[in-house]
């Protein structure tokens, strides 16, 4: 697999202006400027300032009636008989001048010589009000900055002192409602949650039989499978208060806030019971204790401890149910998962064929579909897709249809949407030279031919050499039905199929390219899992050697086997890869003429559908090899092959 209004004009400008005045920085600056301007007006000297020489001249000329000398400020305030004009500017009868320390004696002598009727010496003394303001104002400024920063982090000034208050959103009947009718492909989960709704609406019905209402329900599964949608459906169905919060909303930068928010959330729910609390991504606070930095003093662990206490604090008559969702149930603390806390753990997996068709039927509502579109066929083309993936496929198809100015979503738009979701958008600007196109054609042809020649692989439905995403081309292999387990022979054939592109390059060009790096990565990962997880190696045996997903997720996984065993594992992985390489080689050499025909067709048409591929593979030679697995030849075999099921016996008797 290879435009708008000028800046500041109209509503946009008014919004920017409003946003500017809402900024805390602006108000802090306004406060500082006000203080700087206000203090001199109240406590400063209002007399006109003149040069020292002018002031001394007024003393010697006899125009001064009163003098006041400020030793601390080195300033002299004068009262004059006649108004003073300096450079044509009238300074009035009250002036002041400053002097340096060296001129202090001269100034005193001139005042004494002036024989003033009144003069005053102002000694150095501190103004207590100014001193207090000088101390208080910096602290007020720091507190104001801290206040505004805190207000922004809490979402508004009205919540500044509400650190420990829960951030949970209360979903009411006035909000847009999602019901169980909007959920498809998760019938078992809907059934379980429907029972939870009945618990809350008719608790007496169950208490009469001695049944206790479950305290917690855990929804777990891969991303995009609809866990949050299920919780919204419960909120829409149940006529009770529904509090929704994310796991990360509990933990803040302040110690103890998480635990306080947990207490506040449960107090609100108990006050308004019966009620439902929904915590999305609970693994943010529910991970194994002792695995984080800080050990038992870690803020996240304090939050988890409080959550455990609150769940235990429910009594039999408290109709509050906690619903949580996570993608990683393996990393949750065991104390959180035990009965009495999360009594029910509901898997929400990727939908099967029927579920995918139901999900598609939900998402096509409101979209104009062509009459020829078969949702069942679309569901068959999307194995392993989650509800989010299928919603994305239909949305992409609608966008592509609008881009082409069409009115109805047809099969072509859906096929292109599936390709975009799976491999990314097509790169029309990436131009390959003729040799690189030929290498890509043989590479993808090798994948397809090996997949078709093997007995345990799914049918090839599409081949293309058009670059898409990070691949120069890709081969689509889609199983005819959903599979929930894979046999050893199927894994071997999958590895051969993965190596088919590399082997085709070796056979045709004798010079392999880097295009097979992802294929080798996939084949190696499969082989290593066969040896270390699936017990599909005779030499290693049925022993699990890989660390658990929880340990790997927390970074605590360690190798608990010897160097000799590690060497043996590497040997077995290499042997499996070599076997896959040899199987691909044998299949390609037996069908070299088909490979050339397929590569030529790809160079001419660039993309081949299932019908065109079937025509090219009309004289394909299938591999008849099937490896028989006997992990221990000395072990007695009581029966060759499985017994016939009742359905198989009925079919054989009919024949």
For 605-647, how does the pLDDT look when each residue is reduced to its tens digit (9 = 90+)?
888 888 999 999 988 887 765 566 654 444 554 455 666 666 6
Report the alpha-carbon distance of residue 603 to residue 620 in Å, rounded. 20
Residues paired with residue 426 on neighbouring β-strands, in sequence order: 468
Residue 507: pLDDT band with limits 50, 70, 90: very high
| Catalytic-labelled residue, pool 299, 396, 444, 505 | 444
279-288, 565-574, 641-650: range with highest mean pLDDT = 565-574
Beta pairing class for 460-464 and 344-347? unpaired
Question: Among 38-47, 61-70, 272-281, 429-438, which is the least confidently predicted range?
Answer: 38-47
Helix (H, G, I), strand (E, B) or coil at 605: helix
pLDDT digits (tens, 9 = 90+) for 364-395: 888 899 888 899 888 888 888 888 889 999 99
CA distances from 444 to 382, 426, 497 (A): 20, 17, 10
In the predicted model, is pLDDT for residue 315 greater than 90? Answer: no
How deeply is 144 buried, as exposed, middle or buried, from its count of CB atoms within 10 A (0-12, 13-18, 19+)?
middle
Task: Using the predicted structure, report yes or no on whether residue 549 has a pLDDT greater than 80.
Answer: no
Average pLDDT over residues 551-580: 79
| pLDDT at 157 exceeding the cut of 50 | no
Residue 253 has pLDDT above 60, yes or no: no
Q: Evaluate if residue 341 carries a pLDDT over 70.
A: yes
Between helix 387-403 and helix 353-363 the angle, nearest 10°, is 50
How many other CB atoms are there within 10 angstroms of residue 129's CB atom? Answer: 11
**CB within 8 A of 603, min separation 6: which ones?**
437, 438, 441, 465
Distance of alpha carbon 602 from alpha carbon 391, whole angstroms: 31
> Is the CB of residue 601 less than 8 Å from the CB of residue 463?
no
pLDDT of residue 588: 92
**Overall average pLDDT of the 328-353 stretch:** 87
Output the pLDDT for position 11: 45
Instruction: List, in order, residues 6 or more apart from 373 with CB less than 8 Å away.
Output: 409, 410, 411, 414
121 with 98: CB under 8 angstroms?
no
Spatial neighbors of 383 by CB under 8 A, at least 6 apart, are 353, 478, 479, 482
Q: How does DSSP assign 140-154, residue by residue?
A: HHHHHHHHHHHHHHH
- The pLDDT score that the predictor gives to residue 522 is 93
Would you say residue 50 has pLDDT above 70?
Answer: yes
User: What pLDDT does 557 receive?
Assistant: 53
Q: Which residue has the higher pLDDT, 132 or 377?
A: 377
Residues 346-353 have a mean pLDDT of: 88
For position 62, what pLDDT does the model report? 81
**169-171 sheet: strands from edge to edge:** 169-171, 242-246, 275-280, 320-326, 216-220, 344-347
pTM: 0.68
Report, as an integer, the average pLDDT of 340-345: 85
Give the per-residue pLDDT at 207: 78
The whole-number pLDDT of residue 648 equals: 65
Q: Flag whether pLDDT at 6 surpasses 50.
A: no
pLDDT at residue 216 above 70? yes
What is the dihedral sign for C-alpha 178, 184, 190, 194? positive
Q: Is residue 374 within 8 Å of residue 363, measured between CB atoms? A: no
Among the residue ranges 5-19, 84-98, 530-544, the one predicted with the least confidence is 5-19
Q: What pLDDT digit, counting tens, does each position of 70-111 carry?
A: 877 788 888 888 888 887 777 788 888 888 888 888 888 888
Span of 167-181, 458-472, 566-580 with lowest mean pLDDT: 167-181
Over residues 261-279, mean pLDDT: 83
* Element spanning 614, H or E: helix 610-616
DSSP string, 350-362: ---HHHHHHHHHH
Q: What angle do CA 447, 383, 400 make, to 5 degrees?
A: 90
Sign of the CA dihedral 5, 7, 8, 13?
Answer: positive
Residue range 181-185: average pLDDT?
A: 84
Q: Residue 628: phi, psi to the nearest 5? A: -95, 125
Residue, of 642 and 515, whose pLDDT is higher: 515
Higher pLDDT, 102 or 584: 584
Instruction: Give percent above pLDDT 70 in the chain.
Output: 75
CB 304 within 8 A of CB 337: no
pLDDT interval class at 476 (50, 70, 90):
confident
**Residue 653's pLDDT is what?**
61
344 has a pLDDT exceeding 50: yes
Does 444 qualify as catalytic in the annotation? Answer: yes
CA distances from 345 to 170, 189, 288, 334, 337 (A): 24, 10, 18, 13, 8
Kindly report the backbone phi and psi dihedral angles of residue 526, in degrees, each rounded to the nearest multiple of 5, phi listed first: -65, -45
Please tell me which residue, 590 or 161, carries the higher pLDDT value. 590
Per-residue model confidence (pLDDT) at position 296: 47
Lowest-confidence segment of 130-134, 400-404, 507-511 by average pLDDT: 130-134
Q: Quick check: 251 pLDDT over 80? A: no
Collapsing DSSP states into helix, strand and coil, what is residue 475?
strand
CA 424 to chain centre: 20
The burial of 116, by beta-carbon neighbours within 10 Å (0-12 exposed, 13-18 middle, 19 or more buried), is given as middle
């Amino acid at each position: 697999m290879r435009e708008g209004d000028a800046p500041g004009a109209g509503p946009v400008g008014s919004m920017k202006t409003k946003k500017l005045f809402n900024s805390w920085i602006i108000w802090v600056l306004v406060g500082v400027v006000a203080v700087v301007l206000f203090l001199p007006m109240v406590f400063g000297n209002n007399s006109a300032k003149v040069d020292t020489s002018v002031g001394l001249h007024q003393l010697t000329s006899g125009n001064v009636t009163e003098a006041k000398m400020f030793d601390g400020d080195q300033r002299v305030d004068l009262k004059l008989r006649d108004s003073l004009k300096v450079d044509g500017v009238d300074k009035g009868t009250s002036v002041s001048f400053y002097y340096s320390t060296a001129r202090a004696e001269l100034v005193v002598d001139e005042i004494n010589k002036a024989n003033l009727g009144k003069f005053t010496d102002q000694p150095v003394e501190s103004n207590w009000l100014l001193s207090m303001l000088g101390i208080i104002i910096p602290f007020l400024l720091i507190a104001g900055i801290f206040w505004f920063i805190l207000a922004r982090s809490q979402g508004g000034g009205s919540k500044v002192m509400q650190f420990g208050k829960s951030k949970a959103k209360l979903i009411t009947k006035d909000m847009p409602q999602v019901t169980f009718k909007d959920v498809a492909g998760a019938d078992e989960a809907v059934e379980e949650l429907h029972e939870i709704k009945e618990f809350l609406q008719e608790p007496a019905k169950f208490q009469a039989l001695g049944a206790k209402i479950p305290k917690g329900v855990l929804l777990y599964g891969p991303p995009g499978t609809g866990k949050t949608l299920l919780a919204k459906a419960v909120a829409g169905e149940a006529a009770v208060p529904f509090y929704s919060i994310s796991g990360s909303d509990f933990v803040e930068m302040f110690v103890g806030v998480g635990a306080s928010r947990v207490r506040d959330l449960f107090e609100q729910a108990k006050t308004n019971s019966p009620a439902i609390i929904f915590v999305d991504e609970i693994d943010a606070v529910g991970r194994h204790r002792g695995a984080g930095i800080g050990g038992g003093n870690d803020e996240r662990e304090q939050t988890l401890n409080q959550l455990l206490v609150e769940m235990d604090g429910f009594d039999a008559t408290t109709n509050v149910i906690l619903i949580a969702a996570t993608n990683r149930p393996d990393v949750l603390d065991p104390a959180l998962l035990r009965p009495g806390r999360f009594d029910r753990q509901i898997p929400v997996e990727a939908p099967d064929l029927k579920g995918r068709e139901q999900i598609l039927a939900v998402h096509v509502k409101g979209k104009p579909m062509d009459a020829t579109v078969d949702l069942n066929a679309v569901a068959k083309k999307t194995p392993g897709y989650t509800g989010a993936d299928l919603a994305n496929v239909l949305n992409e198809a609608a966008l592509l249809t609008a881009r082409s100015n069409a009115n109805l979503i047809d099969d072509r738009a859906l096929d292109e949407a599936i390709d975009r979701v799976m491999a990314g958008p097509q790169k029309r600007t990436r131009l390959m030279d003729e040799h690189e196109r030929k290498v890509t054609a043989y590479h993808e042809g090798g994948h397809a031919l090996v997949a078709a020649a093997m007995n345990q692989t799914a049918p090839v439905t599409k081949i293309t050499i058009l670059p898409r995403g990070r691949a120069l081309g890709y081969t689509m292999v889609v199983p005819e039905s959903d599979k929930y387990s894979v046999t050893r022979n199927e894994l071997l054939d999958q590895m051969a199929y993965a190596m088919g592109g590399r082997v085709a390059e070796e056979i045709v060009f004798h010079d392999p390219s880097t295009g097979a790096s992802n294929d080798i990565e996939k084949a190696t990962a499969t082989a290593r899992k066969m040896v270390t997880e699936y017990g599909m190696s005779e030499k290693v045996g049925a022993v699990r050697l890989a660390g658990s997903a929880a340990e790997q997720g927390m970074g605590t996984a360690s190798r608990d086997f010897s160097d000799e065993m590690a060497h043996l594992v590497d040997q077995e992985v290499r042997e499996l890869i070599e076997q896959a390489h040899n199987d691909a080689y044998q299949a390609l050499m037996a069908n070299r003429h088909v490979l050339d025909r397929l590569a030529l067709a790809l160079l001419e048409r660039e993309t081949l559908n299932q019908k065109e591929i079937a025509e090219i593979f009309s004289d394909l030679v299938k591999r008849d090899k099937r490896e028989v697995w006997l992990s221990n030849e000395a072990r007695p075999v009581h029966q060759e092959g499985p017994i016939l099921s009742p359905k198989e016996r009925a079919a054989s008797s009919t024949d």
